[in-house]
Chain A
Amino acid sequence: MIEKALKGSSVYWGWVIFLLCIIGAGFIAYLYQLKVGLGITGMSRDISWGVYIAQFTYFVGVAAGAVMLVIPKYLHHYTKYAKVVVFGEFIAIAAVIMCLLFIVVDIGQPMRMMNVVLHPTPHSMLFYDMIVLNGYLLINIICGYNTLLADKKGLPCPRWVKPVIYLSIPWAISIHTVTAFLYAGLPGRHFWLTAIMAPRFLASAFAAGPSLLVMLLLFLRKVTKFDAGEDALQNVARTICYAMIVNFFFMGMEFFTAFYSNIPGHKATLEYLFWGIGEYGNLVPFMRACIVIGLAGIFILLVPPIRRNPLWLAIGCACVFLATWIDKGVGLVIGGFVPNPLEVITEYHPTFPEITIATAIWAVGGLILTILYKVAVSVREEEQRI
């Protein structure tokens, strides 16, 4: 089946080579980081996690988003998602691989990575994160591959795959819950120490993952013979809209608790992120843009006549994807470190090699997704010919 990725137009190969070039540049930057140390990044004693862990957190959400298609299809037998589910699962595969890569590039001694397995530590949330992420990758490879193979052969999916698909539902919830627990269980980091962290992570995940899917499906409809179907697209868009509203509602609750209680520690990070503290405020434009873009996305996806226009649908999804990315991929992780435990403010400025490495991991995700989607589209096109 995978051989279908080897036959493509010159545009397809041009895109693949473009991604490979970015990956190559990132690889060189990573070799430099391995040689010199993480000091080549913008991270510091005060901001000890940066772009890498922030991207990791965001893409765990993107991966978990696939479940928004699996639930209607397999629990409610919503057949209009039948052709689309595999595209969601493939996003999950690409996103989880990106997450694992972001962890690898973030740790100071990657050659000791297997210590996590050699010395299993059940009191560390990272131990569970390792299990759920790798498990989710495996589950999605099994489900995605087998459902697509069955479609290709024109047979129903093998019966043993069904339980694995059902397992993928709680598992998707678990990956983002455990990732939220990485943050929400730390004393002395007021911004992260909130019980609503996991629910908010899930809400933003269910907006982010499917919005990427809708954009990709619209793109596929334009450039290939595969059409996901208008009903499927519209319904995913509704899901995204609800999830994004819940996400912003949760965010509003964080504001209420912090500002009505008037406790300085709880207010500090929100003040830093949205208004700036004193001379420090380099994330303020990002966070304000997040609110505006996110609200625009909600509006576009909420109003039926606008949502039914494919161009607006794509723009609405892009808004949601971008807003959730700023929220989680920029503000959440960096914000947790500002101010630091001594209530001193240090700002974070990612460096060029750091961004090159992060971009390369995006490109790896893009490449995996390109190959998987090429295969899936080829299978679907064959189906439609028959």
Chain B
Amino acid sequence: MSMDRRKFLKVAGLSTLVGLGSSGAFELLKPGRVDAEMEHGHHHGEHHEKAEETGPKTRLAMLIDIKALTREKAEKIVHTCHHLHNVPNWGDPKNEIKWIWEDEFEHAFPDSYNEYDEILEHSPFLLMCNHCDEPPCARVCPVEATFRRPDGIVAQDYHRCIGCRFCMAACPYGSRSFNWLDPRVMLKKEMAKGRKLNKRFPTRMRGVVEKCNFCVERLAEGKKPGCVEACPDVMHFGNLADENSNVRKILRERVSLRRKLELGTKPSVFYLI
């Protein structure tokens, strides 16, 4: 049952990317590459071979422009994301759920902290799931409730997760949140105060882990991730595996940092400084 759902997600996600690529609205993939990505449907011989020669697969990545980021924009991004994904606001650090949040350089890069760099020290940073190429969380999960999709998104299956929180111990970025209490109870309280629920995204139950999903549900509809739509000058999203992509172009021009590279997790979130 779950297996079927997962295959469906993979196929659905990828077929959407085909649509995106051909429409040209949002540069992610070339159709030929997508075919190479498809695990089951490789019948387009010509494209397929071509894609295999060039080798690279899809690898979705996010670039966060720290120079363009202000506290107001950070707040807007966090709010947009948490609204889109029905993330409750518990208001205390013990039970809190966060998919993306504002923090300081010192916490984002504890090993690279440089007390003499006063610009970075006072810049706001946005922290989120790094959608690692080698995700430790997916490695330790005993039920494959969290797994790396072929397009690079590290996904979370809320219906399979048993809530052992091994992934939270394994994530070196503190990017995962656990529903210690029933999130729907809090959402109801917030709705009484005027919060609107996003009916297009499911709420979760207590006892499961969740985190940023690179807006996989919006990609499936041909939309950009919520944070990119909220602040397109700060957040840049694209295919790292395609050397002509928007993100690769930016990375060629700007200096970027990634969190805790020494751990070998190969994060897909870049900080432009």
B95 close to A44 (CB less than 8 A): yes
The verdict on B24 contacting chain A, using a C-beta distance below 8 Å, is: no
A187 close to B180 (CB less than 8 A): no
B180 close to A126 (CB less than 8 A): no
The verdict on A310 contacting chain B, using a C-beta distance below 8 Å, is: no
Give Cα A118–Cα B143 distance, bound, in whole angstroms: 8
Give Cα A336–Cα B108 distance, bound, in whole angstroms: 19
Give Cα A116–Cα B206 distance, bound, in whole angstroms: 19
Given A109-B162, A341-B174, CB of A188 within 8 Å of CB of B181: no
A188 close to B263 (CB less than 8 A): yes
* Residues in B194-243 with C-beta less than 8 Å from chain A: 205-209
The verdict on B118 contacting chain A, using a C-beta distance below 8 Å, is: no
The verdict on B166 contacting chain A, using a C-beta distance below 8 Å, is: yes
* Residues in B258-272 with C-beta less than 8 Å from chain A: 260, 263-265
The verdict on B2 contacting chain A, using a C-beta distance below 8 Å, is: yes
* Residues in B59-101 with C-beta less than 8 Å from chain A: 93-96
The verdict on B150 contacting chain A, using a C-beta distance below 8 Å, is: no
Contact of A116 among B93, B143, B180 (CB under 8 A): B143
Given A37-B181, A116-B162, A189-B169, CB of A124 within 8 Å of CB of B142: yes
The verdict on A302 contacting chain B, using a C-beta distance below 8 Å, is: no
The verdict on B13 contacting chain A, using a C-beta distance below 8 Å, is: no
Give Cα A43–Cα B96 distance, bound, in whole angstroms: 12
The verdict on B152 contacting chain A, using a C-beta distance below 8 Å, is: no
A109 close to B163 (CB less than 8 A): yes
* Residues in A126-140 with C-beta less than 8 Å from chain B: 126-127, 130
Query: What is the chain B residue whose CB lies nearest that of A263?
Result: B111
Give Cα A126–Cα B143 distance, bound, in whole angstroms: 9
The verdict on B50 contacting chain A, using a C-beta distance below 8 Å, is: no
CB distance from A202 to the nearest CB of B (A): 21
B110 close to A342 (CB less than 8 A): yes
Query: What is the chain A residue whose CB lies nearest that of B138?
Result: A123
The verdict on B171 contacting chain A, using a C-beta distance below 8 Å, is: yes
The verdict on B182 contacting chain A, using a C-beta distance below 8 Å, is: yes
Chain A residues with Cβ under 8 A from B182's Cβ? Answer: 36-37
Give Cα A49–Cα B166 distance, bound, in whole angstroms: 9
Give Cα A43–Cα B260 distance, bound, in whole angstroms: 26
Give Cα A342–Cα B260 distance, bound, in whole angstroms: 11
The verdict on B178 contacting chain A, using a C-beta distance below 8 Å, is: yes
A38 close to B207 (CB less than 8 A): yes
Query: What is the chain B residue whose CB lies nearest that of A119?
Result: B143
Mask of A96-132 contacts with B, CB within 8 angstroms, 1/0? 0000000100111110110110110101111100100
A39 close to B181 (CB less than 8 A): yes
Contact of A39 among B95, B127, B165 (CB under 8 A): B95
Chain B residues with Cβ under 8 A from A119's Cβ? Answer: 2, 143-144, 160
A49 close to B169 (CB less than 8 A): yes
The verdict on A182 contacting chain B, using a C-beta distance below 8 Å, is: yes
Give Cα A185–Cα B103 distance, bound, in whole angstroms: 27
Given A46-B93, A126-B142, A187-B136, CB of A342 within 8 Å of CB of B160: no
Give Cα A236–Cα B108 distance, bound, in whole angstroms: 51
Give Cα A107–Cα B168 distance, bound, in whole angstroms: 13
The verdict on A224 contacting chain B, using a C-beta distance below 8 Å, is: no
Give Cα A48–Cα B141 distance, bound, in whole angstroms: 15
CB distance from B225 to the nearest CB of A (A): 23
* Residues in B143-177 with C-beta less than 8 Å from chain A: 143-145, 160-166, 168-174, 177
Chain A residues with Cβ under 8 A from B127's Cβ? Answer: 342
Chain A residues with Cβ under 8 A from B174's Cβ? Answer: 45-46, 340-342
Chain A residues with Cβ under 8 A from B171's Cβ? Answer: 188, 341
B165 close to A48 (CB less than 8 A): yes
B160 close to A45 (CB less than 8 A): no
The verdict on A3 contacting chain B, using a C-beta distance below 8 Å, is: no
CB distance from A93 to the nearest CB of B (A): 24
The verdict on A343 contacting chain B, using a C-beta distance below 8 Å, is: yes
A48 close to B178 (CB less than 8 A): yes
The verdict on A344 contacting chain B, using a C-beta distance below 8 Å, is: yes
Chain A residues with Cβ under 8 A from B141's Cβ? Answer: 121, 124
Given A126-B142, A341-B174, CB of A336 within 8 Å of CB of B169: yes
Give Cα A189–Cα B168 distance, bound, in whole angstroms: 11
Give Cα A340–Cα B127 distance, bound, in whole angstroms: 14
The verdict on B179 contacting chain A, using a C-beta distance below 8 Å, is: yes
Give the 10 A-B CB pairs with smallest separation, nearest first.
A108-B163, A188-B172, A108-B207, A39-B180, A39-B181, A126-B142, A342-B107, A37-B206, A187-B263, A44-B94
- 18 example contacts (A-B, Cβ-Cβ < 8 A) are as follows A37-B180, A39-B94, A39-B181, A45-B178, A48-B165, A106-B165, A108-B206, A119-B2, A119-B143, A126-B140, A130-B142, A187-B136, A341-B110, A342-B103, A342-B110, A342-B127, A344-B107, A346-B93
Other A-B pairs, 8, CB within 8 Å; known A37-B180, A124-B141, A336-B169: A38-B163, A45-B168, A108-B178, A108-B209, A109-B205, A187-B265, A341-B110, A341-B171
